Amino acid sequence: MPIRGVLLDIDDTLVDTRGAFGAALAAVAAVYLPVGVDVERVVAMWRADASGHYRRHTRGELTAAQQRLARAQEVHAAFGGPPLDEATFPAWDEVFRTGFRAGWRAHTDALPTVRALREAGYAVGALTNAVGPLSQDKLERVGLAEDVPLLVTLDTLGFGKPDPRVFLQACARLGTAPGETAYVGDELDIDALAALRAGLGLGVWLDRPGTRRGGPHLEDPAAAAEHGVAVISSLTELPGVLGRVDVR
Ligand SMILES: [Mg+2]
């Protein structure tokens, strides 16, 4: 079955969320962490999320703020920040969220690729594990909202990827059958592999050079190949994988 629809992840796929975490955690470090702390190491710990707090959030077990507090406490314990609790966390979170929002940028390959896909006749939309208002704000701030309709967020069903139901819901909203729909994301297990398990026609792992998370995350090209996942290192390779158009 030919692919007619393309669903895209947002964070670290369309938007440079890793860079935004860098901005957020640099702002946090300036207020809360000892002078001279290596912010790159803080970012690496945050993204690895070795305790899986964000994934508990995507299963509906923690709120967005609860998972951030748990990760903030781990960062402070590791890098010498003061203890945080529910009373002191809102001020921390304000610093983090302000820096995070200011750091949002689209990846430079995002808009040209999305426009090329749309011009070639593909239906395009976003499926993200982040919450709805934040995701819409993010797409608008980086200039993608008009080209990438936000179809399914964590609040749509109350849980997120890798549950197959969110992929099927996104296909229904996109208007394409699962078998003629591709999913593209930067996390091999919860994006491409989960999409294939849900019955989508194509799973694409965007493995941008130098951006792997480490920790418990599955980031193995051999595992991708074994399951028939297409692997790309830039979104500009996506049309070639889908087989019909070139990005100008
Ligand atoms: Mg992502």
Do residues 172 and 203 lie in contact, with contact meaning Cβ atoms separated by under 8 Å? no
Query: What spacing in Å lies between the alpha carbon of 9 and ligand 1's midpoint?
Result: 6
**Torsion angles phi and psi, residue 49, rounded to 5:** 40, 60
Distances (CA, A) of 202 to 7, 66, 212: 10, 34, 22
Query: What spacing in Å lies between the alpha carbon of 186 and ligand 1's midpoint?
Result: 5
Task: Kindly indicate the confidence band of residue 94, based on its pLDDT and cuts at 50, 70 and 90.
Answer: very high
Query: What spacing in Å lies between the alpha carbon of 210 and ligand 1's midpoint?
Result: 15
Q: Tens digit of pLDDT for each residue in 136-147? A: 999 999 999 999
Query: What spacing in Å lies between the alpha carbon of 18 and ligand 1's midpoint?
Result: 10
Rounded average pLDDT over 114-128: 97
Q: Which residues surround ligand 1, an ion (CB under 5 A)?
A: 9, 11-12, 186
Q: Count the Cβ atoms, other than its own, within 10 Å of residue 30.
A: 13
Rounded average pLDDT over 130-159: 97
Rounded average pLDDT over 90-112: 98
State pTM to two decimals: 0.92
Q: Which residue has the tokens 């629809």?
A: 5
Q: Tens digit of pLDDT for each residue in 180-194? A: 999 999 999 999 999
DSSP codes joined into one string, 98-111: HHHHHT--B-TTHH
Task: Kindly indicate the confidence band of residue 22, based on its pLDDT and cuts at 50, 70 and 90.
Answer: very high
Residues 6+ apart with CB under 8 A from 181: 3, 4, 5, 6, 7, 171, 174, 200, 201, 202
Distances (CA, A) of 234 to 27, 104, 144, 214: 29, 18, 17, 19
CATH class label, 5-16+105-242: alpha beta
Q: Tens digit of pLDDT for each residue in 37-86? A: 999 999 999 999 999 999 999 999 999 999 999 999 999 999 999 999 99
Query: What spacing in Å lies between the alpha carbon of 12 and ligand 1's midpoint?
Result: 5
